[in-house]
């Protein structure tokens, strides 16, 4: 009698690599996030051409940006739930395809309502899947060691997107028009779809690995499965109804409201129109934003490194203090030298807030809840961005300049520094105690 055994196919990466596959996952996520961030930054260079082509007011154009930013954040809690349930790969593919459809449709707009629908609603909803919630989910799934620096690197994709997309789009608009620039964005986004489909995986177990770790407490391949299973079993999942009962949740929401309002909403939307109104050369203005993005890359990585080493509350307070000071300085800038100084200072803290916020949220609410809870915190970020994008346009329409908006932003930065120092670092969520062994 003969017996036959069926070989079990071991999971393996799509391509063989000589390093932990998690680093390739981070590379793919970074490129996709860079693409999404670059697209979100594009309205800064579209405002003036759209004013010239269609006669729309700055407030009307800023309304589309505000809708985009609001929906980008409004879907974040749902995206967090989708990431926890279905994994990053399917969420990223759906988001990128949605963005491509919205961008392609934007090239045919002739009426304001069409721009509001396509850029505001469709691109806004698609971009929601590429938000910071994605970075938090991917980093938490794939990394135990080096998580702070990984979060810093992933969130620096926003600044890198600005470095690449804003000067590129400015050059294309000057020489070929904004519609041609939109076609280029569609092509780049479509290439991201292929990369995610081929290389992206949801979990280390899908390629036969455990999360990346190092040092004395590193988990080995032999016991990773049991360790992860025990951790998941021990740690309860916290829902939003429990999270809103904690002061930390509301303080983090307040911090991120200011972050989104002063970054994406105010500077991200209105800095280039402001510099053009002040007589700066368009290429020089775009290059300055590129400098700001480059400094943000450095600042975000440094913030991630510091998050692994210092009190996250103090780091947040310092970041917002510098941001507030930079905004108070901006209305007094006269020449390209002063604008460059602002770009360096502001760029260093643009997304430096993300690693400490994610770390504080993870410690407070638990790793198994980070997607859904951080999604709600990120919603506050985008509500702030939408409010300041629209508010900046309204301030310009009423006063004829942006100075008052920048002063308000500076005050908000100092207020957020106070919020950060009010956060209590002690954990507010603890796993249930194991039952004591029965006496013999």
The DSSP result for 1-56, as a single string, is -----PPPPPP--SS--SS-HHHHHHHHHHHHHHHHHHHHHTHHHHHHHHHHHH--
- Using CA atoms, how far residue 165 sits from 34, 77, 142, 162, 288, in Å, is 9, 28, 28, 5, 13
Are the C-beta atoms of residues 316 and 361 closer than 8 Å to each other?
Answer: no
Q: In 9-32, which positions are buried (b, 16+ CB within 10 angstroms) versus exposed (e)?
A: eeeebeeeeeebbbebbbebbbbb
Tell me which architecture the domain covering 21-212+238-422 has in CATH.
Up-down Bundle (1.20)
Instruction: Report the distance separating Cα 118 and Cα 68, nearest Å.
Output: 9
Long-range contacts of 2-7 (CB under 8 A, 24+ apart): none
- Assessment of whether the complete model's pTM goes beyond 0.85: no
The tens-digit pLDDT sequence of the chain (440 residues) is: 444 444 556 677 777 888 888 899 998 998 888 888 778 778 777 887 888 888 888 788 888 888 887 887 778 778 877 887 888 899 999 999 999 999 899 888 888 999 899 988 998 888 888 877 788 788 888 887 777 778 777 877 766 776 677 778 878 887 888 888 888 888 988 889 999 999 998 888 888 888 888 644 444 443 444 444 444 444 566 777 888 888 889 999 999 999 988 987 888 788 888 888 888 887 777 777 778 777 877 887 788 778 778 888 888 999 999 999 999 999 998 888 888 888 888 888 877 787 788 888 877 877 666 667 877 888 888 789 888 888 888 898 888 888 899 999 999 999 999 999 998 755 544 444 444 444 44
Q: How far apart are CA 383 and CA 380, in angstroms?
A: 5
Distance separating alpha carbons of residues 369 and 252, to the nearest angstrom: 15
């Amino acid at each position: 009698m003969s017996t036959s055994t069926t070989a079990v196919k071991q999971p393996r990466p799509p391509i063989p690599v000589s390093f932990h596959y998690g680093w390739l996952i981070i590379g793919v996520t970074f490129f996709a996030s860079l693409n999404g961030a670059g697209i979100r930054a594009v309205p800064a260079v579209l405002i003036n051409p759209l004013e010239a082509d269609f006669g729309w007011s700055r407030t009307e154009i800023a309304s589309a940006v505000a809708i985009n930013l609001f929906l980008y954040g409004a879907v974040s809690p749902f995206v967090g739930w989708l990431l926890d349930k279905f994994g990053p790969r399917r969420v990223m593919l759906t988001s990128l395809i949605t963005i491509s459809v919205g961008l392609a449709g934007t090239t045919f707009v002739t009426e304001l309502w069409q721009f509001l629908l396509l850029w505001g609603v469709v691109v806004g909803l698609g971009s929601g899947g590429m938000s910071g919630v994605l970075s938090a989910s991917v980093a938490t799934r794939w990394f135990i060691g080096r998580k702070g620096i990984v979060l810093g690197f992933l969130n620096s994709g926003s600044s890198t997107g600005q470095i690449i997309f804003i000067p590129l789009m400015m050059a294309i608009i000057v020489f070929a028009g904004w519609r041609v620039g939109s076609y280029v964005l569609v092509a780049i986004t479509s290439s991201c779809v292929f990369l995610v489909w081929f290389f992206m995986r949801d979990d280390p177990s899908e390629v036969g690995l455990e999360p990346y770790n190092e040092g004395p407490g590193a988990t080995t391949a032999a016991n990773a499965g049991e360790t992860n299973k025990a951790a998941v079993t021990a740690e309860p999942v916290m829902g939003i109804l429990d999270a809103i009962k904690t002061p930390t949740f509301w303080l983090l929401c307040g911090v991120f409201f200011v972050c989104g309002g002063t970054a994406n909403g105010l500077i991200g939307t209105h800095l280039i129109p402001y510099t053009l109104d002040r007589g700066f050369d368009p290429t020089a203005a775009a290059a300055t934003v590129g400098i700001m993005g480059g400094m943000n890359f450095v600042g975000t990585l440094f913030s991630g490194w510091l998050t692994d080493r210092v009190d996250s509350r103090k780091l947040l307070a310092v970041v917002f203090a510098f941001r507030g000071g930079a905004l108070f300085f901006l209305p007094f800038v006269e020449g390209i030298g002063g604008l460059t100084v602002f770009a360096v200072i502001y760029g260093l803290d643009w997304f430096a807030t993300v690693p400490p916020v994610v770390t504080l949220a993870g410690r407070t609410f638990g790793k198994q809840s980070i997607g859904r809870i951080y999604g709600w915190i990120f919603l506050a970020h985008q509500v702030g961005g939408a409010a300041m994008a629209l508010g900046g346009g309204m301030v310009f329409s009423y006063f004829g300049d942006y100075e008052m908006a920048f002063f308000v932003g500076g005050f908000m930065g100092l207020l957020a520094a106070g919020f950060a120092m009010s956060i209590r670092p002690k954990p507010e969520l603890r796993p249930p105690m194991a039952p004591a062994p029965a006496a013999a």
